[in-house]
Every structure is written in structure tokens, then in C-alpha cells.
Amino acid sequence: MNENKLREQICLFSRSLFERGLTHGTTGNVSARLEDGGLLTTPTDSSLGFLDPARLTRLDAEGRVLSGDRPTKEIPLHQAMYETRAGAGAIVHLHSTHSVAVSMLPGINPEAVLPPLTAYSVMRVGATALVPYYRPGDPAVAGAIRGLAGRYAAVLLANHGPVVTGKTIEAAVAATEELEETARLHLMLRGLNPRLLTNAQVQDLVSHFNLEPYPEHHHETDSPD
């Protein structure tokens, strides 16, 4: 996809996220990887609902700003995700309400923040790792991301929000939406002992759709006859 088209897509999908309440104010940032290894990112302190394609930040493969407005302060986070997820073509980072809420719950499994509630959460998002709290924009978060060695397409920053990769902008946005809806379901069902997908059902999805490995969980309830 050429750069102009990619700029338009970033603005289109960002506005969609904003209009549906998945991001608010000037929170969140989106980036896409260019064919030359550089990045297009949303500028710092910009609303995802009102982006100008011509003002998106253009960085080269070394992270130097070539054009556009000042980049988001989360550039180290984006760069670390791209470095460790070879197939990532785009990244969406939001402060979406339900995902942030889940990141603050006690007893979270850092290797799988959300249980396997639905087939599509397994298929579109996969297991989601919890990254400890870092100040927004802290370059140290990049080290925590690199420490995951690219095993996760999505991570949840504690007390901050989700960071989701995809091969395309559309795929990253779809996975972000799936993660937020799964977080919402998880909060709705807390204390109700919901029936999760069993480990066997999860592994069937992994095998059938050639997904990345998904960690086993220990809260299974037999399906009704």
C-alpha cells in the first residue's frame, strides 16, 4: 500500500475508534510500518477523531522524524513491538475503559490477562500479556516489551491500556475491538463462575486456525449435556 493511502487509512480507522468511544480526548496512538522500514504515527496530543493525513509523523527506519508534527511520546513502545513482532504492520494503543479496568484487577495472570471466554477472542487476539506499570512515554517500557520476545500480538499495560498489533491497520483495529469486548465480558461475569472454553476447545482452535500457542488455564466447567 502506498504512503498516501496508508495515511488515509490511519485517519479513517482512528476516527472510527474515537466516534465509538474506544478512545477519548487526546488519548491513544496509532502507527503503521512503511515498506522502507520507517513508520507513520499519530502526533502527540492529537485527538484520534480529528487527524489530518498530511500532519501524521513520518519517521525513518532509525526513528528520526522526517516530516509532520511532533510524534507520540510512545514511540519507544511502538518500536519495540515492531522489532519483536516481525509480521506486525500496524499498532493500535488505546486507553479503552474496560481493558484499563481489567489491567488494575488483583490476581491477574501476567501470561494470559483474560480467560478464553469466546472463540473469537482466542482467534483474533490470542493470549494477552500484562506489562507492569511504567510512566507514559517512559523508554524503559521498550525493555519490558522486548523481554516478551514477540510471543504476544497484544499486551495490556498496567493502569494504562492495550497495545495491539496486526498485519494491517484494519486487522489491528479489529483485534483491539475484540480485546475490549472480551474485557467488558470479563468484568460483567466476575463472580458468576462463567463457563470458559476448555483447554481442549482452545487447542482445537489453535490447531485448526494455525494460531500461536495459547497457555492452559485451570478454571474449566463441564459444558451442559
Q: Which residue is associated with the grid cell 472510527?
A: 16
- Residue 163 CA to residue 159 CA, distance in Å, equals 13
Q: How far apart are CA 169 and CA 126, in angstroms?
A: 17
Q: Which of 82, 120, 133, 152 is catalytic?
A: 120
C-alpha cell at 184: 467488558
| Residues 6 or more apart in contact with residue 131 via CB below 8 angstroms | 141, 144, 145, 148, 155, 156, 157, 158
Cell (9 digits) for 21 = 468511544
Asked whether 145 and 84 are in contact (CB, 8 A), the reply is yes
**Is 133 noted as a catalytic residue in this protein?**
no
CA-to-CA distance for 33 and 168, rounded, in angstroms?
9
Q: What is the C-alpha to C-alpha distance for residues 34 and 29, in angstroms, rounded to an integer?
A: 17
Edge-first strand order for the sheet with 57-59 is: 65-67, 57-59, 39-41, 29-33, 90-93, 161-166, 154-157, 128-131
Helix (H, G, I), strand (E, B) or coil at 146: helix
The catalytic residues are: 120
